[in-house]
Amino acid sequence: MNPSVLECRKLYYADINPSAFLAQTLTDVYPEKDYHRMFIGEVEHVLCREATKG
8-23 pLDDT, tens digit per residue, is 999 999 999 999 999 9
The set of residues, in sequence order, having a beta carbon less than 8 Å from that of 3 and lying 6+ positions away, is 46, 47, 48
Is pLDDT at 1 greater than 60 in this prediction? no
Task: Break the chain into its structural domains and give their ranges.
Answer: 3-48
Of 45, 43, 38, 47, the residue nearest 4 (C-alpha): 47
Model confidence, pTM? 0.62
Of 17, 7, 15, 10, the residue nearest 40 (C-alpha): 10
Q: Percentage of residues in the chain with pLDDT exceeding 90?
A: 74
31-49 pLDDT, tens digit per residue, is 999 999 999 999 999 998 7
Bridge partner list, 7: 45
pLDDT of 50 = 76
Q: How many residues does the chain have?
A: 54
Q: What is the mean pLDDT of the chain?
A: 90
Is pLDDT at 4 greater than 70 in this prediction? yes
